Amino acid sequence: ILAAGRPASCSAIRHGSSLSAAAGVVNQSQDEPLTPTQLVFVAHDATGRIVGRQAKVVTLEPGKSTTVVADGIDIGSARPVTLEAKLTDGPVEPERRAEPTPVEILDVRATSDGRAVTGRVDVRSDRPAFQIGCAMFDGDGELAAVGFTTLRAGERSFSIPTRPVRSGPYDASCFVG
């Protein structure tokens, strides 16, 4: 299991006074699941002062990996900004304690022109809605775009509009959060 406090691979795109970000998380254990844990994105200015943060809850089956996506990390006018993402060992924030929806994301693809990320879902829950966040990467593995959508009960596919800041070809990864 990726140890708490250990940084996850992370990249970001600046949009004026906010950041979109993606971080890779791997459950290195082949036996134990990663139970609900917070992945915290933290933005720092040039002096090291924290200028923005956002937490996402991550759960992973043994040996699995995911890309966790965050959007709207408010950083104000800070320049330059560095971003890190770390798993925390503390309690999950009260509003984020709910167990994740049992959803498997299938057939994720970035369109060749970079205007959308598409995919299908297998939902094993009666929850009325859930959010999917996707990160699009360019051919060098750099973050090119981030997008989100909310799927409602009965929906089994998605298309998330994106506006990449880098040219393709593209690959994509999505996260239920």
Distance (Å, whole) CA 82 – CA 166: 19
Residue 83 parent element (H or E) = strand 82-87
Percent of the chain with pLDDT over 90: 43
Return the bridge partners of 67, or none. Answer: 24
Residue 123's pLDDT is 83
101: which 2 tokens? 């929806």
For residue 41, the cross-strand partners are 54, 85
CA distance 48 to 148: 29
What is the percent of the chain with per-residue pLDDT over 70, rounded to a whole number? 88
The pLDDT-based confidence of 73 (bands split at 50, 70, 90) is very high
**pLDDT tens per residue, range 90-102:** 555 544 444 555 7
